[in-house]
Amino acid sequence: MSAPSSPADLVVLGGGSGGYAAALRAAELGMSVVLVEKDKLGGTCLHRGCIPTKALLHAGEVADLARDGEQFGVKTSLAGIDMDGVNAYKDGVVSRLHKGLQGLVKGRGISYVEGEGRLASPTAVEVGGQRYEGRHVLLATGSYARTLPGVEIDGTRVITSDHALGLDRVPASAVVLGGGVIGCEFASAWKSFGVDVTIVEALPHLVPLEDESSSKLLERAFRRRGIGFELGSRVSAVQTTADGVRVELENGRSVEAELVLVAVGRGPISDGLGYAEAGIATDRGYVLVDELCRTSVPTVSAVGDLIPTLQLAHVGFAEGILVAERLAGLPVTPIDYAGVPRITYSDPEVASVGLTEAQAREKHGEVRTLTYDLAGNGRSQILKTAGAVKLVQVPDGPVVGVHVVGSRVGELIAEAQLIYNWEALPDEVAALIHPHPTQSEAIGEAHLALAGKPLHAHS
């Protein structure tokens, strides 16, 4: 398409979660919008992250149910994993969502530009020789899969999550470098597919950003599932062998497998895009912003994985909407990042909102905690899942942290988000009636116990 003759209200560079959310909301508010994307609308989340990985994890859950049906009195057997079929299912989900998103963008009258864009000035983005002027520019160029120094990604034996999503076979064995969200999710899915998996994590626990009690529950569950892990272990070398890869650790141990997945986090995509030339302040590649996502240049904002906030799709959505509403002159408030729900979609799932116990002690000094074991929850017994709800409370004050481990508990964290963000007292949540039998009762029962009136739990 040819560049519009008059400036748009907003030019968005990057069509991932943060960029397209801003574009959709800005258009809804009557602004003229140009949205530039070099790959596919929807970005990492839709095509190489949230959606396809959760489809893999669900396929893994189906495999586990087929394999273990007898414990429910249903005689089943697992004939095998057809990766062509799994990929067709996964790609079908992505394709339907992608088409829906394309329809939304078109329906809102957004000018969509395919091509690699760069910031040409504080008010312009250049794509393939065409210049798109805007009264305001939003940078939303996302992130890439990082690797470790000295570890070369070859796309076959040493791979990133991008490659892992396109595998056409089930590897016999895999070493996962990184025990964070991405590493634990792939380890979980692969184990369900029958892969012999070992996770290597440099820090002392899996999912190290979560409450330590959640990490320990996940480690216990992974042990029971036969997922191996080396904690507090740094990688010294990764070498290809005749039939796979060997990972050497600094502690002298080594692990061999068919392939290695490097899952050590994601870094910002900002190099060579004209940010420095336009005067945009950065740090280690991240674009620096204030609490309302404004950069050091008044006409430029930035959102999503490009800025040093939580790298989550729903954070990108929220930041994009905030920017669009701010530019439209609506009143906006800064995002409380502690109040954003966080989920690791492994089996079991790890979900949390608010402060960990350690963070709460650092911020508030004395805190109260209560742990409610899912063994006392009827629905969890039916699902044959183990885990717990842990609450962190300021004494005589609100609940400032909710941490949950168990199958499917990610669906519970929306209520926990309300509890944290509305600064609810245990008594107030205890007064709410939760439906029986559901896992949501575990949230209610934990608050009943914290309020000093336990029902199916010890106080």
The tens digit of pLDDT for each residue in 50-85 reads 999 999 999 999 999 999 999 999 999 999 999 999
Active site residues: 436
pLDDT in tens for each of the 459 residues of the chain? 555 568 999 999 999 999 999 999 999 999 999 999 999 999 999 999 999 999 999 999 999 999 999 999 999 999 999 999 999 999 999 999 999 999 999 999 999 999 999 999 999 999 999 999 999 999 999 999 999 998 999 999 999 999 999 999 999 999 999 999 999 999 999 999 999 999 999 999 999 999 999 999 999 999 999 999 999 999 999 999 988 999 999 999 999 999 999 999 999 999 999 999 999 999 999 999 999 999 999 999 999 999 999 999 999 999 999 999 999 999 999 999 999 999 999 999 999 999 999 999 999 999 999 999 999 999 999 999 999 999 999 999 999 999 999 999 999 999 999 999 999 999 999 999 999 999 999 999 999 999 999 888 765
**Beta strands 368-373; 388-393: pairing state:** antiparallel
pTM of the predicted protein model: 0.96
What is the per-residue pLDDT for 166? 93
What pLDDT sits at residue 455?
87
Question: What's the confidence (pLDDT) of residue 427?
Answer: 96
Is the distance from CB of 30 to CB of 324 less than 8 angstroms? Answer: no
pLDDT of res. 6: 83
